[in-house]
A and B are shown apart, each in its own frame.
Chain A
Amino acid sequence: MLTARNLTVHLGHRQILHGVDFTAKAGEVTAIVGPNGSGKTTLLRAITGDVGYTGDARIEGLDVARAKPWELAARRGVLSQFTGVAFPFTVAEIVRLGQSNGISGGGPDLGERALARVGLSGFGHRPYHDLSGGEQQRTQLARVLAQVWDPTGKDGANWLILDEPVASLDIAHQLEVMTLARDFALSGGGVVAVMHDLNLTAMFAQSVALMAEGRVVTQGDIGHVFTDENLSAAYACDLKVNTAPANATYILPHAASA
């Protein structure tokens, strides 16, 4: 269980989060959606301990504000929107950083298995800086996976906290990464992901929190949250759920998950 109660965050003089409540259950993919600037990433940064907050945030009972970095690292891995790498590491060396800092231990081949999970088998020897943006992002995901490889530990679920994990990926890799997240949840782990693509969210998330203007407007299952009224109000534009635009080209990725 990951819970946030009455979270308030100020950055400088601006208040970004206004008393946010948020809950994510192990065994589910919980998505956070909302327009730009609605506070999605800030909420994520609060529950990963990156920004100070008032209120209460806990991962499996562990108080985020008080826990030591290594205690948190043993419970959850975090994928940021962008991770800059300062020195010429290889892909395998990056992934191994996650493993050597994580709790999973794993075997010497854990790095290779993590790379296989993100579709980067055989990329281990490549210089990280020679990869495309999407490949770099998947390398970082493999590093996060290597940190919390097992979905559950002896103290409960382990968590993957992902900030726009599919933003720079092509559609096949979007599906691959979301499937990976769903499998992690189905094996008992917890997943919290900030999402931009509402269709992908509807396909893969069991619970979704809709944010607007620094507040969680509503949280629940997809059918409950994704209504014309909720989405149109939050995104400030007319949105229709389950209605394909007439006489226009559109791509439905739904066949892939069937």
Chain B
Amino acid sequence: MVAMTHVDAATASDRSTTARWVMVALSVALVAISIASLFVGATGLSPLGVIGDLVAGRPVDLRAQVVIFDIRLPRLSLGLLVGAALAVSGVVMQGLFRNPLADPGLVGVSAGAGLGAILAIVLGGLLPPAVGTAMGYSLVPIAAFVGGWLSVIALYSISTRGGHTSVATMLLAGIALAALVSALSGIMIYLADDAQLRTLTFWGLGSLAGATWSKVLAAAPLMLVGIFGAPLLARGLNGLALGEPAARHMGIDVQILKRFAILLVSAAVGAAVAVSGGIGFVGIVVPHLLRLSTGPDHRYLLINAALLGAIILILADMVARVIVAPAELPIGIVMAIIGGPFFLWILLRRRGLLEM
């Protein structure tokens, strides 16, 4: 990625060719890293042994079976979905706000989704039993989606006037929103009983631990809508990069574009936050790296962001599992250790961003 400052010398068509190659390379890397992640963790498993058993049709050792299929595979699926959802949401939010600093975690959208999730965890028991049972594991993701959606709408209507987004207002409104939300969350935590408290604490640190198939299935639809819906907005987001009037002049229905963008971001972020808590920085690191290497064309950016987001999250999860084995570090902490300095680096490199 370091060599990419020379991209200036490449022609535009070269950049889209590069973007396609990056897409291929990321897909291959994603598959390789996903397979590797199944064999990394507190319990040592020999990949060759398990694959050999599978190929030869021998029954796989029961312990390996449980570890891989009931623990690591759902966790891998969740990591793939959450990483892709967060990275794609970052791209869409940045396109919508026309600024590379708009990240769901930074501007309070994740916090809003989190409040939805906390409300569902603590007060979910108060729902009529029939409703609670019917929604099951979906209750928390859906509540988080609604929380995220309300936050994006609040944020957008506060920071955007006449199609112009004030970045300072956006960031400050995000701070206010996050503060308000954390106060409300605090009240909920105060009300929570011991078991709920434990759930909330681990959830808030950001973790893929405790992934189960039922959790994956409950959150997957919302995240998949975000991940696969976003590329449909690519042309519109490209146009929006030139501002609302220019986008409209080029034939884009800006109002519809914005509504869909907000819904997709809320769905993806809401579900991701509901199942994994506060994992930050994926939405800002991934799009930034990709824009440096292959340019801001959303047709490639959205797809590549999904792939790279999944890769980074799986890698971070592997680190989280290994570094203090047999215990594990919440992945949110790992991402913050990587993402915090990276964000500062972006700021130092492009001080002008805030004046935009």
Contact A93–B251 (Cβ < 8 Å): no
In the complex, chain B residues whose CB is within 8 Å of the CB of A127: 8
Instruction: Give the distance in Å from the alpha carbon of A87 to the alpha carbon of B239 in the complex.
Output: 11
In the complex, chain A residues whose CB is within 8 Å of the CB of B100: 87
A49, A86, A100, A144 pick with most chain B CB within 10 angstroms: A86
Knowing A69-B252, A77-B249, A101-B239 are in contact, say whether A88-B291 is a contact too (CB < 8 A). Answer: yes
Which stretch in B76-84, B172-180, B240-248 binds the other chain? B240-248
Q: Which residue of A lies closest to B163 (CB)?
A: A50
In the complex, chain B residues whose CB is within 8 Å of the CB of A88: 291, 295-296
Contact B296–A102 (Cβ < 8 Å): no
Q: How far is the CB of A245 from chain B (nearest CB, A)?
A: 39
Which stretch in B10-18, B195-203, B214-222 binds the other chain? B10-18
Instruction: Please tell me the number of chain A residues within 8 Å of chain B, measured between CB atoms.
Output: 40
Instruction: Give the distance in Å from the alpha carbon of A71 to the alpha carbon of B252 in the complex.
Output: 10
Contact B250–A87 (Cβ < 8 Å): no
Contact A69–B248 (Cβ < 8 Å): yes
Taking A84-B242, A97-B242, A101-B252 as known contacts, 7 extra A-B pairs with beta carbons closer than 8 A to each other, sorted by chain A number, are A70-B252, A72-B249, A80-B249, A86-B240, A93-B12, A93-B297, A101-B250
Q: How far is the CB of A14 from chain B (nearest CB, A)?
A: 15
Assess whether B253 is interfacial by the CB under 8 Å rule: yes
> Among the listed B15, B98, B240, which residue makes an inter-chain contact with A93, where contact means beta carbons less than 8 Å apart?
B15
> Among the listed A48, A68, A83, A97, which residue makes an inter-chain contact with B238, where contact means beta carbons less than 8 Å apart?
A97
Assess whether B62 is interfacial by the CB under 8 Å rule: no
Assess whether B182 is interfacial by the CB under 8 Å rule: no
Assess whether A92 is interfacial by the CB under 8 Å rule: yes
Contact A86–B241 (Cβ < 8 Å): yes
Instruction: Give the distance in Å from the alpha carbon of A114 to the alpha carbon of B296 in the complex.
Output: 22
In the complex, chain B residues whose CB is within 8 Å of the CB of A96: 12
CB under 8 Å from chain A, chain B span 1-57: 8-15
Assess whether A220 is interfacial by the CB under 8 Å rule: no
A-B pairs with lowest CB-CB distance, top 4: A73-B251, A87-B296, A92-B12, A70-B251
Q: How far is the CB of B93 from chain A (nearest CB, A)?
A: 12
Contact A49–B248 (Cβ < 8 Å): yes
Knowing A85-B242, A92-B11, A125-B9 are in contact, say whether A78-B249 is a contact too (CB < 8 A). Answer: yes
Q: How large is the interface on B (under 10, 10 to 19, 20 to 34, 35 or more residues)?
A: 20 to 34
In the complex, chain A residues whose CB is within 8 Å of the CB of B212: none
In the complex, chain B residues whose CB is within 8 Å of the CB of A156: none
Assess whether A74 is interfacial by the CB under 8 Å rule: yes
Contact A97–B250 (Cβ < 8 Å): yes
Contact A86–B249 (Cβ < 8 Å): no
In the complex, chain B residues whose CB is within 8 Å of the CB of A144: 249
Instruction: Give the distance in Å from the alpha carbon of A98 to the alpha carbon of B252 in the complex.
Output: 11
Contact B10–A125 (Cβ < 8 Å): yes
In the complex, chain B residues whose CB is within 8 Å of the CB of A91: 12
Q: How far is the CB of B347 from chain A (nearest CB, A)?
A: 16
In the complex, chain A residues whose CB is within 8 Å of the CB of B253: 68-70
Contact A72–B251 (Cβ < 8 Å): yes
Knowing A77-B249, A92-B13, A93-B297 are in contact, say whether A101-B235 is a contact too (CB < 8 A). Answer: yes
Contact B239–A93 (Cβ < 8 Å): no
Q: Which residue of A lies closest to B244 (CB)?
A: A50
Q: How far is the CB of B101 from chain A (nearest CB, A)?
A: 11
Instruction: Give the distance in Å from the alpha carbon of A99 to the alpha carbon of B87 in the complex.
Output: 28
Instruction: Give the distance in Å from the alpha carbon of A100 to the alpha carbon of B296 in the complex.
Output: 16
B242, B243, B291 pick with most chain A CB within 10 angstroms: B242
In the complex, chain B residues whose CB is within 8 Å of the CB of A86: 98-99, 240-243, 356
B248, B250, B291 pick with most chain A CB within 10 angstroms: B250
Contact B13–A98 (Cβ < 8 Å): no
Contact A89–B245 (Cβ < 8 Å): no
Instruction: Give the distance in Å from the alpha carbon of A83 to the alpha carbon of B247 in the complex.
Output: 10
Assess whether A147 is interfacial by the CB under 8 Å rule: yes
Instruction: Give the distance in Å from the alpha carbon of A102 to the alpha carbon of B238 in the complex.
Output: 14
Knowing A49-B248, A50-B245, A73-B250 are in contact, say whether A87-B291 is a contact too (CB < 8 A). Answer: yes
Contact A83–B242 (Cβ < 8 Å): yes
In the complex, chain B residues whose CB is within 8 Å of the CB of A71: 251
Contact B11–A125 (Cβ < 8 Å): yes
In the complex, chain B residues whose CB is within 8 Å of the CB of A80: 245-246, 249
Assess whether A94 is interfacial by the CB under 8 Å rule: yes
Task: Give a binary string over A192-218; 1 marks a CB under 8 Å from any B CB, 0 the rest.
Answer: 000000000000000000000000000
